[in-house]
Structure formats: structure tokens, C-alpha cells
Amino acid sequence: MELESISTSVNTSYQNGVGKKFLIISISLTVLLNLSVAIWFFIYVQQNGLDKFLIK
């Protein structure tokens, strides 16, 4: 009887969605970081020109 209760509790722990929430949060943070770098790049290029960014 104890083994059945342990197996059902293990099954419900997989269904609580912690992995899915972590995946959504990590993807959101990655997109936010990439967007902030892209915005910084475009502002830098507008202010200083592309020649200053590229190493010759």
C-alpha cells in the first residue's frame, strides 16, 4: 500500500509544471537580453557610426 502512495505522489510531482515554468522564464530572459543588446547596438551605431564599431 505504501508503494502505491509513493508512486502517485511521484506522478503528481512531474505534473506540477515547474519545468515548463522554468523553460518559459529562461526563454523570456534570453529574448529580453538579446533585445537589449540589439537596442544598444542600434543606438551605438546611430551615435558613432558603423566604422567605430568595426575593427579595421
pLDDT of residue 18: 82
Q: What digits encode the pLDDT tens for the residues 1-56?
A: 555 555 555 555 556 678 899 999 999 999 999 999 999 999 988 988 888 777 76
The whole-number pLDDT of residue 49 equals 83
| Residue 51 grid coordinates | 566604422
Burial 28-49 (b: 16+ CB within 10 A, else e): eeeeeeeeeeeeeeeeeeeeee
Please give the Cα distance from 56 to 51 (Å, whole number).
8
- pLDDT at residue 50 in the model: 81
Determine the Cα–Cα distance for residues 33 and 41; give it in Å rounded to an integer.
12
φ and ψ at residue 15, rounded to 5 degrees? -95, 5
**Predicted model pTM:** 0.58
